[in-house]
Amino acid sequence: MVNKEYGEVVMQGTNSKGLGDAVLPSLSKRGSAQQVAGPSPFPTAHKPKIPASVLRPRPQPTSAPPRSDIVASLGEQIKALRLAANLSGGALALRSDISRSMLSRIERGLVSPSVETLDRIAHGLGQPLSRFFSDQPGRTDLSVVRAGHGIAVDRVGAVAGFDYELLGHGLSGNLFVEPYLVRVASDAPPYTSFQHPGIKFIYMLTGKVTYCYGPRKLQAIGAGDALLFDASALHGIDSVEEGPVSYLSVVFTLRS
C-alpha cells in the first residue's frame, strides 16, 4: 500500500505477523536508481598516445645543388645539335644506346656524363667527340671585308683567265670555309676538271655560262642562278655564253 505521508510504497509479505515488509524507493528517486544501476553511455575519454615518430621533427628538404656551368653548357650543346639534326630525344637515345631519361638529364645539365657516354652521344649525332670540348661560346671569329678589298689569291693549279678574290676566313672550329669572288675573262678557255674535297656553292652574279658537273651539262646558268654540289666530282665552266662572267664560290671542308 501507499504511505501518503512519506511517499513510500509499502509491500506486505504474506506472513501473518507482517514480517518481510519492504519499503521501495519512491517514484521521485527513479532517476538516481537508474544511475546506480548501469554504467554511463559516455565513458571518460582517455588522452591518446601519439607515436614518437610523429612527434620527432622531420628534416627539411634540402635545395638541389647548383648546376655546373660546364655541365649546363654541355647539355645545351647536345640539345642544339640534336634539334639541328631533326632528331627526337628518343631517336638520339636509341642511336646512342643510352636511356631516354639519361639523355634528358644530360641535356638539362643535371648529370655530368662520362667520356664513354659522350662518345656514344657523339656517334649518335654523327659528330666527333672533340666537338663537345671546343669553346663554342668563347669564339669571336669575325671577318669583315669591305667592297673591293678582298685578297687576291693565286690558287695552286689555277686556270688561266680565272681570278680569285678571297672574301673572308675563319681561324677556329672544325669547318673550313673559303668564300671567293671569281671573275672569268671573256677569252678564258673552258675548264671542266676542277676536283677537290668538300661541298661547293656557286652563285652567279653576272654573265651566262654552260656549266658541267660530271657527265651533265647545265646550259644558260646566269645571274641569280645557284649551284650546290659535292666538289669531289669533276666540274667547271664548259663555255661562256655571255660575258663578263663573275660568281660567288664558297667551298666547305672539314679540318683534318
Report percent pLDDT > 70 for the chain.
Answer: 69
Q: Name residue, grid cell 647539355.
A: 75
Tens-place pLDDT, residues 32-85: 444 455 555 655 556 667 776 666 777 666 655 566 778 888 888 899 888 888
Mean pLDDT of 135-146: 67
Nearest Cα residue to 145 out of 171, 124, 166, 163: 166
Does pTM surpass 0.85?
A: no
Q: Report the pLDDT value the prediction gives residue 93, as an integer from 0 to 100.
A: 93
Mean pLDDT of the chain: 78
Tens-place pLDDT, residues 87-129: 899 999 999 999 999 999 999 989 888 889 999 998 899 888 8
Annotate 109-146 with DSSP letters as a single string: T-S---HHHHHHHHHHHT--GGGGGS-STT--------
Hey, what domains does the chain have and what are their CATH numbers?
Answer: 2-29 (no CATH), 69-133 (1.10.260.40), 151-254 (2.60.120.10)
Mean pLDDT of 223-241: 94
Q: Report the pLDDT value the prediction gives residue 26, as an integer from 0 to 100.
A: 46
Q: Report the pLDDT value the prediction gives residue 211, as an integer from 0 to 100.
A: 96
Residue 140: exposed, middle, or buried by beta-carbon count in 10 A (0-12, 13-18, 19+)?
Answer: exposed
Is the confidence at residue 133, as pLDDT, over 80?
A: no
Mean pLDDT of 151-158: 69
Cell numbers found for residue 237: 665552266
